[in-house]
Structure 1
Amino acid sequence: MATLPIDEVLDELKSAVRSHSNAVLVAAPGAGKTTRVPLALLDESWLAGRKIVMLEPRRLAARSAAAFMAKTLGEEVGGTVGYRVKLDTKVGPRTRLEVVTEGVLTRMLQADPALEGIGLVIFDEFHERSLNADLGLALCLQAQALLREDLKLLVMSATIEAEPVAALLGNAPIVRSEGRSFPVATEYRPNPASAYLDDVVANAALDALRAHDGDILVFLPGIGEIRSTEGKLRTKLSGTPWSDAVISPLYGGMTAEAQDRALAPLAAGQRKVVLATSVAETSLTVEGVTVVIDSGLSRVSQFSPRTGMSRLETIAVSAASADQRRGRAGRLTAGTCYRLWSREEQSGLASRTTPEIMEADLAPLLLELAVWGAGEPAELDWLDAPPAPALQQARELLAQLGALQGNAATPHGRAMAELGKHPRISHMLIRAKEIGLGGLACELAPLLGERDIVRASGGQPPNADVRVRLEALRGQGPYAGAIDDFVRRRLIEETRRTRLELGVSADRRTQNELGVSADRSTQAEMPGDCGLLLAFAYPDRIGRRRDSGKFLLSGGRGAAFGPGQPLTHEEWIVAADVDDTGADSRIRLAAPVDFARLAAVMPEEIVSEADLYWDGEAKAVRGRSRKRLGAIVLEETPLHKPPVDRVLRTLLAGIRAEGLDLLPWTKAARQLQERTVFARRHDTAWPDLSDAALLGSLESWLGGYAEGMKSRGDLQRLNMKDLLENQLTWEQRRALDAEAPTHWTVPTGSRIPIDYSDMDAPSVAVRLQELFGLPETPRIAGGRVPLTLQLLSPAQRPVQVTRDLANFWRNTYFEVRKDLKGRYPKHYWPDNPLEAEATRRAKPPGK
Structure 2
Amino acid sequence: MSLPIDPILPELVSALTAQRRAVLQAAPGAGKTTRVPLALLEAIPGKIVMLEPRRVAARAAAARLAESLGEEPGRTIGYRMRGESMRGNRIEVVTEGILTRMLQSDPELPGIGCIIFDEFHERSLQADLGLALSLEVAGALRDDLHLLVMSATLDAQPVADLMGGAPVITSKGRAFPVETRWAERPLPARHGRQLADAVAAQVREALNEDGSILVFLPGAGEIRAVAERLTGLPKDIAVRALYGAMQLKAQRAAIAPARDGRKIVLATSIAETSLTIEGVRIVIDAGLARRARFDPGSGMSRLVTERVTKAEAEQRRGRAGRTAPGLCYRMWTKGEEGGFAPYPLPEIAEADLAPLALELAAWGAEAADLPFLTQPPEKTLAEARALLTELGCLDATGITAHGKAVAALPTHPRLGHMLLTGGRAAADLAALLEARRPILPGADITPYVRALPRDLQLAEAREIAKRLRRLAPDRPALSPGALLSLAYPDRIARRRSGKDPRYHLSGGKGAKLPPDDALAGETMLVVADTDGHPTEATIRLAAPVTMADIRELHGNRIAEVATCDWSKRNRRIEPRLREMLGALILDERHWKDAPPEAIGAALAEGIRDLGLDVLNWTSAAKRLRARIALVGSPLPPVNDTALLDTLEDWLVPHLNGQRSAEDLARFDPHDALFALLDWPQRQRLDAEAPSHFTAPTGSKVPVDWSDPAQPGIAIRLQELFGLTEHPRVGRTPLRIDLLSPAGRPVQTTSDLPGFWASSYADVRKDMRGRYPKHPWPEDPAVAAPTRRAKPRGT
TM-score normalised according to structure 2 size: 0.75
Which residue of 437, 443, 467 corresponds with 1:464? 443
Distance of 1:668 and 1:608 partners within structure 2: 45
> Which residue does 1:533 correspond to in 2?
483
Q: Are positions 1:444 and 2:433 aligned together? A: no
Distance of 2:365 and 2:592 partners within structure 1: 46
Distance of 2:511 and 2:412 partners within structure 1: 23
1:79-478 residue pairs with structure 2 within 5 A?
79-91=75-87, 95-189=89-183, 191-192=187-188, 196-209=194-207, 211-233=208-230, 235-237=231-233, 240=234, 243-266=235-258, 270-375=261-366, 377-406=367-396, 408-433=398-423, 438=424, 440-453=425-438, 455=439, 462-475=441-454
Question: 2:500·2:515 contact (CA, 8 Å) conserved in 1?
Answer: no
Q: Displacement, 1:69?
A: 1.9
Q: Displacement, 1:317?
A: 1.7
Counterpart residue identity of residue 446, structure 1: A
Which stretch shows the higher mean deviation, 285-294 or 143-152? 143-152
Gap change, CA 1:674 and 1:62, over 3 Å in 2: farther
Q: Are positions 1:15 and 2:9 aligned together? A: no
Distance of 2:141 and 2:655 partners within structure 1: 60
Which residue of 74, 77, 92 corresponds with 2:73? 77
Distance of 2:65 and 2:656 partners within structure 1: 81
Which stretch shows the higher mean deviation, 529-538 or 249-258? 249-258
> Which residue does 1:31 correspond to in 2?
30
Gap change, CA 1:371 and 1:794, over 3 Å in 2: closer
Q: Alpha-carbon deviations, 1:167-205, whole Å to 9, x = none? A: 222332222111224332223345555954444434433
Counterpart residue identity of residue 364, structure 2: G
TM-score normalised according to structure 1 size: 0.71
Structure 2 unaligned residues grouped into runs of 5+ = 690-707, 712-729, 737-753, 758-794
Counterpart residue identity of residue 232, structure 1: R
Distance of 2:8 and 2:627 partners within structure 1: 85
Q: Displacement, 1:157?
A: 0.8
Question: 1:552·1:632 contact (CA, 8 Å) conserved in 2?
Answer: no
Q: Displacement, 1:631?
A: 3.2
Gap change, CA 1:653 and 1:582, over 3 Å in 2: closer
Which residue of 528, 531, 539 corresponds with 1:579? 531
Distance of 2:652 and 2:204 partners within structure 1: 85
Counterpart residue identity of residue 36, structure 2: V
> Which residue does 1:550 correspond to in 2?
501
Q: Alpha-carbon deviations, 1:465-487, whole Å to 9, x = none? A: 21222222233xxxx5xx43xx4
Gap change, CA 1:582 and 1:72, over 3 Å in 2: closer
Which stretch shows the higher mean deviation, 575-584 or 284-293? 575-584
Q: Using the aligned pairs only, state the percent identity.
A: 46
Distance of 2:603 and 2:514 partners within structure 1: 44
> Which residue does 1:837 correspond to in 2?
none
Q: Displacement, 1:345?
A: 3.5
Q: Alpha-carbon deviations, 1:78-115, whole Å to 9, x = none? A: 323221112211115xx232211111112122222343
Question: 1:83·1:90 contact (CA, 8 Å) conserved in 2?
Answer: yes
Distance of 2:62 and 2:97 partners within structure 1: 17
Matched residue SS, 2:464: helix
Gap change, CA 1:139 and 1:650, over 3 Å in 2: farther
Q: Alpha-carbon deviations, 1:388-430, whole Å to 9, x = none? A: 4433432332232222224722222222221121122112112
Distance of 1:695 and 1:365 partners within structure 2: 47
Distance of 2:311 and 2:276 partners within structure 1: 18
Q: Alpha-carbon deviations, 1:609-654, whole Å to 9, x = none? A: 1123456799997632111333332322232334677678778888
Distance of 1:30 and 1:134 partners within structure 2: 24
Gap change, CA 1:90 and 1:671, over 3 Å in 2: farther
Question: 1:624·1:637 contact (CA, 8 Å) conserved in 2?
Answer: yes
Which residue of 588, 595, 609 corresponds with 2:561? 609
Question: 2:651·2:669 contact (CA, 8 Å) conserved in 1?
Answer: no
Question: 1:105·1:136 contact (CA, 8 Å) conserved in 2?
Answer: yes
Counterpart residue identity of residue 73, structure 1: L
CA root-mean-square deviation: 4.5
Matched residue SS, 2:525: strand
Structure 1 unaligned residues grouped into runs of 5+ = 457-461, 508-525, 680-686, 744-762, 767-789, 797-822, 827-847
1:519-668 residue pairs with structure 2 within 5 A?
529-545=479-495, 546-555=497-506, 556-581=508-533, 584-613=536-565, 623-642=575-594
Q: Alpha-carbon deviations, 1:116-152, whole Å to 9, x = none? A: 4333322111111112112222233333444444433
Gap change, CA 1:725 and 1:340, over 3 Å in 2: same
Which stretch shows the higher mean deviation, 195-204 or 377-386? 195-204
Question: 1:127·1:157 contact (CA, 8 Å) conserved in 2?
Answer: yes
Matched residue SS, 1:397: helix
Distance of 1:717 and 1:396 partners within structure 2: 50
> Which residue does 1:776 correspond to in 2?
none
Distance of 1:373 and 1:697 partners within structure 2: 49
Gap change, CA 1:652 and 1:195, over 3 Å in 2: closer
Matched residue SS, 1:138: helix
Question: 2:82·2:410 contact (CA, 8 Å) conserved in 1?
Answer: no
Gap change, CA 1:704 and 1:366, over 3 Å in 2: same
Gap change, CA 1:609 and 1:192, over 3 Å in 2: closer
Counterpart residue identity of residue 188, structure 1: W
Counterpart residue identity of residue 532, structure 2: D
Q: Alpha-carbon deviations, 1:442-497, whole Å to 9, x = none? A: 111111122222x35xxxxx13221222222233xxxx5xx43xx42x32221111
> Which residue does 2:63 correspond to in 1?
67
Q: How many residues align?
A: 701
Question: 1:444·1:470 contact (CA, 8 Å) conserved in 2?
Answer: yes
Question: 1:672·1:724 contact (CA, 8 Å) conserved in 2?
Answer: no
Gap change, CA 1:255 and 1:619, over 3 Å in 2: closer
> Which residue does 1:807 correspond to in 2?
none
Gap change, CA 1:620 and 1:219, over 3 Å in 2: closer
Matched residue SS, 1:419: coil
Gap change, CA 1:500 and 1:156, over 3 Å in 2: same
Question: 1:50·1:119 contact (CA, 8 Å) conserved in 2?
Answer: yes
Counterpart residue identity of residue 101, structure 2: R
Distance of 1:117 and 1:714 partners within structure 2: 84
Matched residue SS, 2:5: helix
Which stretch shows the higher mean deviation, 577-586 or 83-92? 577-586
Counterpart residue identity of residue 90, structure 1: M
Counterpart residue identity of residue 580, structure 1: G
Question: 2:242·2:251 contact (CA, 8 Å) conserved in 1?
Answer: yes
Q: Displacement, 1:29?
A: 1.0
Distance of 2:114 and 2:128 partners within structure 1: 17
Q: Alpha-carbon deviations, 1:544-568, whole Å to 9, x = none? A: 2332231323233332322532221
Counterpart residue identity of residue 362, structure 1: L
Counterpart residue identity of residue 36, structure 1: R
